[in-house]
A and B are shown apart, each in its own frame.
Chain A
């Protein structure tokens, strides 16, 4: 079992739910992002999703777009993000996954990217514009270097797709709560809940629901349907308005809510 899976399963054994926190590398700068990762990890995140800034993030909503654009403007690069991950790894054992768009991987070289970023310390790779039909160039090298290539299911996924995706799942299954892009909104999680139920027939990998979760209450509602939740835009919003302390505080309240220690 991989490190990400193990971390999420541990919460299951504790009778709680896993929490994956998204932060953008280099936003607002690498130093602050580094402190935000450590703060989120100390506040109770089970894994961190590091978003690599991309110029045209078509699966992302306004908040993460803004963070990515600011990071790029501030000089974020693939090489700096790799060093950033190495630095986190020297300070924290928390499971890390990089979320990036396929073009950044292709330009670096698929094998070189997977080799260098696993050496830097990540356990998972999340590529939202790489459906299973196109993963043939990345999947084998991920296996070679022991990296989990995270697969997505969505409320629009058909039953046969859920079966194939479920069978290939590694690390955790990324369950998109609602058709659309990232960003906080009211979501009825029962639709993706049904998809999670179907996926469980093909995989015992933990299911994590993401997209739209903006509060501890929403995290709990989503968690009823899965093993873990992913919180991104809402965390970046805290970072934008209140800095690292606001991130810490927000992650703590979600952790407490998921553990049933009151909202």
Chain B
């Protein structure tokens, strides 16, 4: 998977203007060659280890485990990765690829700013020119990350079209790429977009699940019973789930953002509430009206605030390989505080969605079982906004 047309079952594909089709074919060709290239793979592993700080720890959350009194809870500490989130895995892989392809300029979109920071970081590292598109609303929500990107030498362009969030930043990044396709590589931040992006980003993020496999065997001598990860576009979840896709004994659960509640219409639960459709070049589940107009998503977490989802998740959903559920803003905010208090770890609001699902999941587990949660990023970026939301409560 995917097949040569970039399809995961019926999902995926390349629904893009002719102008960028040759670039996608060139990219696919280059990537498939480098995937087999030992020198490239060694180079990628080198930067993951020496620059990013991999492997990240699989941490036994003793207090959280005691709190629930059921299965043992482990946290995959992607929050400990350089720049503070799993996004760097993919940004490093794609920047190395762009360098091999002779592209001098990088364009990216960002929601919470973590992918923008990761991209700006690798561009600084490899001397590439970097332009990041970010929704105006997100720039306000994540002012600190905007400053970080600028500090790293990136140009951050506010996007005011549409709803001014991740969806519109992605559309604007694609427009830039269509315009400058000859010398520019588009580092898409999630397992979304046209083929070969969902496959490529998945491969670069699979290091998460591959490490968990080795680490959990070492600690527990068996694979986990459950792996849980949050899903916006779905890159940290795909990185966690993909290596376990053929292990039916490992139950994989993806958590979407239910925003203010699934029945309010203000959420970002594309898989739970959307219909198949085309957004940003791929056929997947999309929040849309009966005419196929895209409905803006809503979530307290800028990184999950996206009305689509990666096409391989759509396939996993329909094939029953992964189960998907959704938690609300309030549940995520409670989990954000819970982990901070219990474990001394402030999680990203995105990752807090996965943690919030423990409230439901743990009741079904037994003490001899294990649950691994992907702690995809750290919460420093969210402190300012959550302080506003939780004023009086903290």
* CB-based nearest B residue for A78: B291
Cβ-based interface call for B345 (8 A): no
Q: How far is the CA of A55 from the CA of B277 in the complex (A)?
A: 13
Taking a contact as CB atoms under 8 Å apart, the answer to whether A104 and B180 are in contact is no
Taking a contact as CB atoms under 8 Å apart, the answer to whether A54 and B293 are in contact is yes
Are A59 and B178 also in contact (CB < 8 A) when A129-B16, A154-B18 are? Answer: yes
* CB-based nearest B residue for A158: B22
Are A65 and B161 also in contact (CB < 8 A) when A107-B292, A129-B17, A131-B21 are? Answer: yes
Cβ-based interface call for B279 (8 A): yes
Taking a contact as CB atoms under 8 Å apart, the answer to whether A153 and B18 are in contact is yes
Cβ-based interface call for B66 (8 A): no
Q: Which of B247-306 contact A (CB under 8 A)?
A: 275-281, 283, 286, 288, 290-294
Q: Which residues of chain A are near B67, meaning CB under 8 Å?
A: none
Instruction: Map CB proximity to B onto A201-227 as digits: 1 under 8 Å, 0 otherwise.
Output: 000000000000000000000000000
Q: How far is the CA of A143 from the CA of B368 in the complex (A)?
A: 62
Cβ-based interface call for A186 (8 A): no
Majority DSSP secondary structure for residues of B touching A: mixed
Q: How far is the CA of A161 from the CA of B174 in the complex (A)?
A: 21
* CB-based nearest A residue for B19: A154
Q: Which of B18-32 contact A (CB under 8 A)?
A: 18-23
Taking a contact as CB atoms under 8 Å apart, the answer to whether A103 and B179 are in contact is no
* CB-based nearest B residue for A105: B292
Cβ-based interface call for B13 (8 A): yes
Taking a contact as CB atoms under 8 Å apart, the answer to whether B171 and A176 are in contact is no
Instruction: Map CB proximity to A onto B112-140 as digits: 1 under 8 Å, 0 otherwise.
Output: 00000000000000000000000000000
> A210: shortest Cβ distance to chain B, in Å?
12
Cβ-based interface call for B46 (8 A): no
Cβ-based interface call for A58 (8 A): yes
> B26: shortest Cβ distance to chain A, in Å?
9
Cβ-based interface call for A163 (8 A): no
Residues of A within 8 A of B (CB): 54-56, 58-59, 61, 65, 69, 72, 77-78, 101-108, 128-131, 133-134, 152-158, 161, 165, 176, 179-181
Could you jot down 26 A-B contacts, CB within 8 Å? A54-B293, A55-B294, A56-B162, A61-B175, A103-B277, A103-B279, A103-B288, A104-B293, A106-B283, A107-B290, A107-B292, A108-B292, A129-B16, A129-B278, A131-B14, A131-B16, A131-B17, A133-B5, A152-B19, A161-B21, A161-B22, A176-B17, A176-B19, A179-B182, A180-B19, A181-B178
Instruction: Pick the 6 closest A-B CB pairs, nearest first.
Output: A107-B292, A180-B179, A154-B19, A152-B18, A103-B292, A55-B293
Using A77-B291, A101-B278, A107-B275 as known contacts, list a sample of 18 further A-B pairs with CB atoms less than 8 Å apart, ordered by residue number in A: A56-B162, A58-B171, A59-B17, A69-B162, A78-B292, A104-B291, A106-B277, A106-B283, A107-B292, A129-B278, A133-B21, A153-B18, A156-B20, A176-B18, A179-B178, A180-B19, A180-B179, A181-B175
